[in-house]
Amino acid sequence: AMHTTTGLVRLGLVVYFGCAGRRVGFGGVGSGHPRSKVGPRYIAEDSPRLWTPQPSSDRSRGRAMAPAPSKPTKPFHPTAPYYDQSTFTGRLRHMISMTDPRLLFTSKAELSRCSSLLAAHAAGDRRATAAELWRARTVLESCTHPTTGETIFPLFRMGAIAPMNIPIVAAMLQTPPTAVGATIFWHWFNQSYNTACNVANAGGEGSSKKELLVAYAIAVTASCSIAFAAGRVVASGANWAASLRPLIPFGSVAGANGANLFFSRSGELRNGTPVLDEDRQERGKSRIAGRLAVAQTALSRGCLVPAAAVLLPPASLWALSAAGILPPHPAAKQLALLSSIYLSVSAAVPAAIALFPQDMAFPAEDLEPEFQGLKRADGRPVRVLSANKGL
């Protein structure tokens, strides 16, 4: 059984990378956090997926496959977004580009080449094409830390989220709720991996080690406690309790996400989040904006992502079984489950993060009284203020 499961996981990963390589418009998790200028190269908030096939000589040197534009490439800009971030489609295409699993195989030599290419362009060298520059930006944004510029370990990059979740979600769905040890282990493992990804990809100044440890402890405690308590209810033998089994992984993960989010962003709920005017000048902190930012994040990443990851796969298998097209062989059923997990996670993460704009816009009259009647530097009234939603 162990050999069969290992073979199926490998087959599922082969299917995943094979399908991901054929995605149309891939140009994702990029994370939605702001990027900043680091050292001699520029790392910006948004980028395209513009892969072009590399010559065989490039492949032999270990370069990752590169994205190719299906239409003329727009002029390169070191910081401006490639896709329109005011539309859901633009945000989705950006997030899809950041979660492309092919970027997991980017070599250090390719990262160095991309960094040198952008540094040369910043210094005035205009020999590189726009497609090459956009591609270099995409590679660096996906594979390096937005603030320090350090290379992110491949398994913690945004492109690893979907393939890593295949065994994690499959284990959580198939572990009996009465198996306390296995249940706690997989929920601990899931929260540990999530924390590692968040730390590896976090922008800004980041949290202190103490805050990270507290947030991690809260997430693990909440996830394992909910899973354990729900498992005890199911094990009680009540007829109604058996129907709760498919909801245990979702409730555990969503509960942990909510607890972690409330702790890590409680300051925004109490004191508000910074808001900027049309000239990008900070005008104070708004509690109204802070509450909306936390609510949108809780809905997108706290609820929608775990719902798609752990509820859609069993629902898909049930639908296939009801339609009479689910293969009866256990190995075929396992492969169908792994494939449905891949499809759900790879679609849910980019779509959930892209659901709301990263920069929230508010008419001045919708915020607190202190933000009404403000004047810009040229004397015109401040009509719209914006705030970063965060992740």
- How large a percentage of the chain has pLDDT more than 90? 26
Provide DSSP, 34-71.
----BTTB---S-------PPPHHHHHTTPPP----SS
Residue with tokens 């590692």: 196
Is pLDDT of 136 > 50? Answer: yes
Q: Mean pLDDT for the chain?
A: 77
User: Concatenated DSSP letters for 253-264?
Assistant: HHHHHHHHHHHH
Q: Which residues, listed in sequence order, are joined to residue 363 by a DSSP beta bridge?
A: 384
Q: How far apart are CA 320 and CA 339, in angstroms?
A: 13
**Tens of pLDDT along 7-30?**
434 434 433 334 433 332 223 233
Cβ neighbours of residue 254 under 8 Å, at least 6 residues apart? Answer: 302, 303, 306, 307
Residues 188-219: pLDDT tens digits?
999 888 888 877 876 555 567 787 788 888 88
Residue 203: the pLDDT is: 56
User: Which amino acid appears at position 304 of this protein?
Assistant: L
* Whether pLDDT at 390 is above 90: no
pLDDT of 57 strictly over 60: no
| Alpha-carbon span 49 to 139, nearest angstrom | 9
Question: What ranges do the domains of the chain cover?
Answer: 73-143, 160-388
pLDDT digits (tens, 9 = 90+) for 69-115: 445 578 998 877 788 888 999 999 988 888 889 999 999 999 999 99
> Who's near 118: CB < 8 A, 6+ residues apart?
40, 41, 42, 78, 133, 136, 137, 140
pLDDT digits (tens, 9 = 90+) for 248-304: 888 888 888 888 777 778 788 888 889 999 988 999 999 999 999 888 888 887 888
Look at residue 145 in the predicted model and tell me its pLDDT.
Answer: 83
pTM value is 0.69
